[in-house]
Copies of this chain bind each other. A is one copy, B any other.
Amino acid sequence: MSRSAIGLGGSLGATLQRELQLAFSSPGRIVNPLMFFVIAVSLFPLGGRMSPDQLGTIAPGVIWVTALLAVMLSMESLFRSDFDDGSLEQLLLSPQPLYFHLQVKVLAHWLVTGLPLVVISPLLGLLLQLPAAGYAPLLLGLLLGTPALSMIAAIGTALTVGLARSGLLLAVLVLPLSIPVLVFGAGLVDTALNGLPLSGVVAVLGALLVLAGTLAPLAIGAALRISVH
């Protein structure tokens, strides 16, 4: 017989592969968050009249808030189609451990949406006249922060997937929970610009990531069980 057992690792690999296939089959999944990020950031200089100096001051905040919004909005679709077409029920009824599958799903999603945001962020720093010392901490902060934000946003997505109009509700649930990541993330840039040592803030961001990565899947699983009900 051609059937071969693949174990937990193989099964998680299949979930990862499926998510990546989904992302690459509709390139919008990857490109749209990026475009949103760039367009939304460039709205701010249009909305106010600011000197280059002032722009540089608000740059970390604007970039981080927009990244947060982009991550959150891109997460909106994480469970949507699975919910609509019944795949989510299959995942919940699978004998495989849900916890790890959810972790992998969020990770896959971050790889195709969050990571590109991180990569492109220096460009936006340039647009907003971010001082030179700010680029490295901006990148580092986003690299640690966006996966944590993805995990937090996934909780909100899981809680709202059964609801028709979820976009704004998702924001209302997720934004307050994301504030610590935002504060330390944007704070990292400020700290660097003020010439203070970074290690403490980096450690906190790392801790937040670990915390979100381990606890969020539990909340996501519980939320999904409620949603399919």
Contact = CB atoms under 8 A, between A and B. Distances in A.
Interface string A167-209: 1110110011001001100100010000000000000000000
Contacts of A80: 164-165
A156 interface: no
Chain A interface SS verdict (over half): helix
Given A39-B175, A65-B44, A172-B35, A26 B60 contact: no
A19 interface: no
Nearest to A45: B61
Interface residues of A, number: 50
B81 A48 contact: no
Given A69-B40, A69-B69, A176-B39, A77 B167 contact: yes
B74 A43 contact: no
7 nearest A-B residue pairs (beta carbon): A47-B61, A48-B61, A32-B168, A77-B165, A47-B186, A35-B172, A36-B171
